[in-house]
Amino acid sequence: MTPQRSTGAGAEAELPEYAGQYLLESCLGSGGMGVVHLARSTSGLKLAVKVVHAEFARDREFRGRFRQEVAAARRVSGAFTAPVVDADPETERPWMATLFIPGPTLSEHVKRNGPMPTAQLRRLMAGLAEALRDIHRAGVVHRDLKPSNVLLAEDGPKVIDFGISRPKDSELRTETGKLIGTPPFMAPEQFRRPREVGPAADIFALGSVMVHAATGRGPFDSDSPYVVAYQVVHDAPDLTGVPESLAPLVLRCLAKEPEDRPTPDELMRELRSVAASYDTQAFIPAQRGGGDFPAAQSTAEELPEPPVRRRVRGKVALGAGVFGLVVATMLVSVQLIDSGSRTSAGAGPHTKAAAFHSWQAKPLPKASGLPQCSYGAGKLLCAQPGVVFALSPADGKLLWRHSVTRAHSSGPPVISGGLVQPYTDGGSRLAALDPGSGKEVWKHLLGRDATVRYADGMILLTEAGGKVTGVDSTSGKTRWSRRITGQGSPAFASFPGASLAYATSTSADGSSTHVSAIDPHSGDVRWEARLNGTLVPVGTGHGSVFFLSVDHVYGETKAVVRYTPGTRSTRRMALPLASEAAQATVQGDVVYLLGASGSLEAVDMTAQRHLWRVETSVSRGSAPVADSRYVYFSAGDGRLLAVDARRGALVGQTPARLGSDAATVMGAPAAPVLVGNHVYATTPDGTVFALDGRDPSGW
């Protein structure tokens, strides 16, 4: 079969032919996590097969999240969901096959046909109540029920996409929760009390879904997701257009407090009492013409589909706290950054003491996307989709710009071998630029799905089959090519000032990680070790390598590990509370971790002490950077925050900078750049700014 071409966002140019034993026939749709294909089993059974994007398949955190999705989907597989037929979350390109269910999503149906009549609304609400009853009985909380996650099948609605679901008895309920979802369909507690998110949050979402089905909009509506979040927490819902017979029940679902909402069983009883002649005939939606398959019939995650826009009545004042709580709840498609690029924006060389004036600039007004920057060759080097440029660190003046073929920037440029190397993970070629002029010095074609890491003046290219090639950063010439012993498909990490690169591979059950220290100039293995647990390298220092120990299934960070190869000793420091999707930086012997929910903490690996933990209210912040005084990180709304590295107290933050399109929220904020006493950061509206880092309280 000729591989199908996909026009879906984020999809690979060439789609695979098989997932396991299943022949992939055509593309149903593409979301932030993967591509969904129509497939057939050996017996001819129609399936929907979700295949993870290649760039995410190499990320351990994402693999953990996908394992969680598979486990949750299997746990709830039944009459009201798309039953799981088969899955392999451990293969090179993880996949999951569910029964193919013909029919549009609720979102598609409302777009095509407009609001539903009352009888159909009753049947929809009853079907969703039954579905949530079974999902909750299986011990799962969906947490992202929305119109695009409801399939309208001939025998009733089906709930799909369990990518961010959680067991309702999870330890997460006693820890800092994970703020993620789609704001117009999230419950107040998902913003206010993430630790307490339970089954009642799905009931709130059901109420919002019903308003959308009845009116084509949501009960809380604005062009800005931040205003929507405020309305969800504080304002009464707008039920204009909801049938009078259903409005009281929908209003109960939208109660601000979880305990005031009905259970699924109560909903079904109320619906029977609403109309004694309750119509139980199957809901048969209007079918697509032309034989099109429903793009969202899968479990592929999608970008939130905003309801019909209306002007917000009255003025709403949003404090920084509300902004911070909401920033990353909109994340459905997330741009993941590898360990190497996390640290590329870290502490740079100290500049000479001189007069420094804060500045801000929008160097490329017509460019879109968040600038991602690093420091090198005396310049601030930045990338936006399709362009790399250099700024003067003193005043933000644009020095040069260079167009690149990569459609999306996956990280800041780096200086390697004295040249500017645009970060090209997933691109078709490497291109090295002169740091003085931005002109291309050499180029190097890449194999399909190759990953790129920079280490000590070399470029490490890892092909999908596991072969690694070392390319000289200065000349672009290949120096060596081989497979790394003991590493099937290695994931590389490198850190500023380190002469080695670190390849890691985790056992299938997550019980151990094989670590190999590689000389990037020769490909030789300098040392190797097998360490307990699923480990992610985050930094080096004092002859040691530091790792985060993450849960193999859910991806939560449970401990920090320090391995010293000289003595072959391992020190492990358990965290008091697990941290979700943590990013980390190492300063001396202290590891600073920023969790997805905004918890920032410090662990001293020499003293084996947990120093402090502070809740910053920033969800899905950038990777942190640190010096001996402060820890800096960025928020998705454009704020730069500083926390005292000794006390763990928030000491300063800048105003939010969202620009004119406040509804656009970046998937992953770019890490700030620390150069001596100066801090550089970027915002979603394309602004780059510089501040004196010695007194964050004055920001």
Closest alpha carbon to 537 in 571, 491, 489: 491
Whether residue 569 contacts residue 563, with contact meaning beta carbons closer than 8 Å, is answered with yes
The full DSSP string for 212-259 is HHHHSS-SS--SSHHHHHHHHHHSPP--TTS-TTTHHHHHHHT-SSGG
Question: Coil, helix or strand for 231?
Answer: helix
Whether residue 624 contacts residue 538, with contact meaning beta carbons closer than 8 Å, is answered with no
How far apart are the two ends of the chain, measured CA to CA in Å? 59
Distance in angstroms (rounded) separating the CA atoms of residues 402 and 386: 9
Distance in angstroms (rounded) separating the CA atoms of residues 349 and 373: 15
Distance in angstroms (rounded) separating the CA atoms of residues 560 and 577: 12
Q: How far is CA 470 from CA 240, 486, 505, 639, in A?
A: 63, 18, 19, 38
Q: In what side-by-side order are the strands of the sheet with 640-644?
A: 625-626, 630-634, 640-644, 650-653
Residue 10 backbone class (left: φ over 0; alpha: ψ -120 to 50; beta: rest) = left
Beta-carbon count within 10 A of 248 CB: 12
Distance in angstroms (rounded) separating the CA atoms of residues 265 and 471: 63
144 assigned to active site: yes
Q: In what side-by-side order are the strands of the sheet with 491-493?
A: 491-493, 501-506, 512-518, 525-532
Whether residue 642 contacts residue 614, with contact meaning beta carbons closer than 8 Å, is answered with no
Whether residue 470 contacts residue 479, with contact meaning beta carbons closer than 8 Å, is answered with yes
Catalytic residue among 59, 144, 551, 685: 144
Phi and psi at 191, nearest 5°, equal -95, -40
Distance in angstroms (rounded) separating the CA atoms of residues 34 and 380: 34
Q: How far is CA 637 from CA 241, 289, 320, 621, 659, in A?
A: 33, 41, 10, 10, 9
Question: Coil, helix or strand for 432?
Answer: strand
Q: Which residues are catalytic?
A: 144
